[in-house]
Structure 1
Amino acid sequence: MNPEDFLQVISPDQSPPSPFKMGTIPDTYTSGLPTIKFDGETVASTKRYPCFGAYTPKAGDRVLLARVGHGWVVMDKVRMF
């Protein structure tokens, strides 16, 4: 194995996953931790996601989520002007 092959094995040409995702809080949301319909998916998650303290979730909000450990946290609403 030459050095280039070795580097390809330990560091494949794949971009690391983004630390952020976009999604929407479903229209069925009423209270508590929200589920999220992530962009590119057809149905909302069954898992409920925590939110930063300054954000109060509302049905229909577009939100930015950040990867924390092995999960996601809702950062805030994304305002579309």
Structure 2
Amino acid sequence: MSAEEFLQIIAPDKETPTSFRMGTIPGTYTSGLPTVQFDGETVASTKRYPCFGSYTPKAGDRVLLARVGHGWVVMDKIRTV
């Protein structure tokens, strides 16, 4: 199952808020907490997002984020191969 299929299962319609989102670490990222360009948005966020300790962000990574409280946490890189 792909990450996109997983997200469609847990949030089948646009009116239901989702607990997960996908995005990309921008190519300009170099270190520290990353910004994220969320899928469906045209520019990266200005906010920096915390990450799980097992994930080290890299420019260009596709990532899965989970809603925690009123914000988002980068869970991990999504591997497609």
Q: Which residue of 2 aligns with 1:44?
A: 44
Q: Distance in 2 between matches of 1:25 and 1:54?
A: 16
Any runs of at least 4 consecutive aligned residues in structure 1 with deviations exceeding 3 A, and if so which?
none
Unaligned segments of structure 2, at least 5 residues: 1-13
Alpha-carbon deviations, 1:50-81, whole Å to 9, x = none?
00000000000000000000000000000011
Alpha-carbon RMSD across the aligned residues, in angstroms, is 1.1
- Paired residues, what number? 68
Matches within 5 A, 1:2-13: none
Structure with higher Rg: it is 1
Corresponding letter in the other structure for 1:58? K
- For structure 1, the 5+ residue unaligned runs are 1-13
Partner Cα distance (1:18, 1:46) in 2: 21
1:78 maps to what in 2?
A: 78
What residue number does 1:35 align with? 35
How far residue 15 of structure 1 moved from its aligned partner, in angstroms, is 4.3
% identity of equivalent residues: 81
Q: Give the TM-score taking structure 2 as reference length.
A: 0.81
TM-score, reference length from structure 1: 0.81
- Distance in 2 between the 1:15 and 1:79 partners? 28
